[in-house]
Structure 1
Amino acid sequence: MQAGRFVAIGDSFTEGVGDPHLHYPNGLRGWADRMARQLGRADPRWEYANLALRSKRIDQVADEQLASALALRPTLATYFAGGNDLLALRADVDDVLGRYDEAVGALVDAGATVVVFTAFDPRMSALLEPLARRVRAFNAGVRDIADAHDTALVDHARLREYDDRRLWAPDRLHMNRWGHKRMAAAVLRTVGLEHTLRLRTLGDPPGRPPLREAAREEARFVRGEVLPLVRRRLTGRTDGDTALAKWPEPVHPAEGMKRLARRRAPSAGTPTGVAG
């Protein structure tokens, strides 16, 4: 693939939530920034923009990011949205997929090589089976969209290495540093590009903790992650309401992401890694 302009759009998955880094805009690094740096190392002519913001539903991604992304004339574009819609109390999966299809079609028609993603499909308890069915229906639709538009597909749902909790942030919704690094490698592999990322060797998964310890851990998770998320959903306020896009204008990753971040620090988004 020749050097060009890589534009990433979407929600927290692409913004990089779960992979905190104080020296990056919004206090986040993430797979897309890691991928951009690899592109810059391979060829300094690569440009990169990232418009993704946490908490955004698919309508918001389409309304707030798509036109700007198209105006940047990307040669390579990554698109993922819909995860926040799936987590809502009510979700029309067909409507979400319709918006997904429209956005992908617009990017393809603009001449970009497009990469799309399925949502990860964790092994859920029977209590969450309605959500699991929603995710499976969404993923089947994304695969159909990728086929229809002849786009590249990173089928996250089938990357079963992500069953390992060591690749996830404490909120269990977002990948951590190691998960984002593996995702960057997966996207680069999907578009046929080499990388020099050092991926953590996971080895055997840790054994299950004793029942009492597991119960305490679950209680901490509910207090620290689930309840705040529910409160944000009920109030309708999210961190994405005030955060700014990390890289709204194209930059040359070959110049060094930290150096570029320092240049735009006064206007960069809030330094937080919290999702909403």
Structure 2
Amino acid sequence: MPRFAANLSMLYPEHDFLDRFAAAAADGFQAVEYLFPYDYSAQQLKQRLDDNGLVQALFNAPPGNWAAGERGVVSLPGREAEFREGFDQALEYAAILGNDRIHVMAGLLASEAARARHHATYLENLSHAATQAAKVGVTVLLEPINTRDMPGFFLNQQDQAQAVCKAVGMANLKVQFDIYHCQIVEGDVATKLRRDFAGIGHIQIAGVPDRHEPDLHNELNYPYLFELIDQLGYNGWVGCEYRPRGNTSEGLQWMRDWQAR
């Protein structure tokens, strides 16, 4: 059975962020993930994890100026020092929180004419990050993101991400397979899960097209995909990164039904 992690950046918006840990635990989650931890001290977050018996599954490295619209700096020429300093900070948080997965957002591409230059920067920064992360047993993750939610994002397709990992050639650099993004960009989700399984380091889920619960009210057959994930032997966390239609706990009936099978 897939092991589900609550994404606290999206789930439980009815609670203040630090109160979402207890809410997730009360609903039966054993792990959490979220976008960024940096508004809080690592010790504060670790206390919430410990108080509620939760595992930290994942968070993102600093993304640049999020409020100004930046969505990662790892592929941005001229921002190498900023990326590396931010990744060091992410490793410091991971050492305290206990997670062994860090996602680095690729960033936005201003124009296709700049792609080759961005790609070279991307490979160089990823090689550095994976080398540093390997020293402490951490896996670095890349995530293709759909262009509807994030226009201009550098990385959009699964084969593109897998090719980047192969080019860097580090065993601890893997792809974060978000089923929602994959379905919107290219579809054929099950085939891509099978094809790329060896290079997948984390899985996330949400209903399509509206990024709500992964239940029967969306275009994907999630019970089929959950069975496939089990058949493939995936033993990592599956991040529930969706926007609840209403109350988060009430909307988790899909998970209760699956776990009761």
| Range into which the TM-score falls when normalised by the shorter chain | 0.3 to 0.5
Structure number with the bigger relative contact order (C-alpha 8 A, sep ≥ 6) is: 1
Normalized against structure 2, the TM-score is what? 0.41
Normalized against structure 1, the TM-score is what? 0.39
Which of the two has greater strand per residue? 2
Which of the two has greater helix per residue? 1
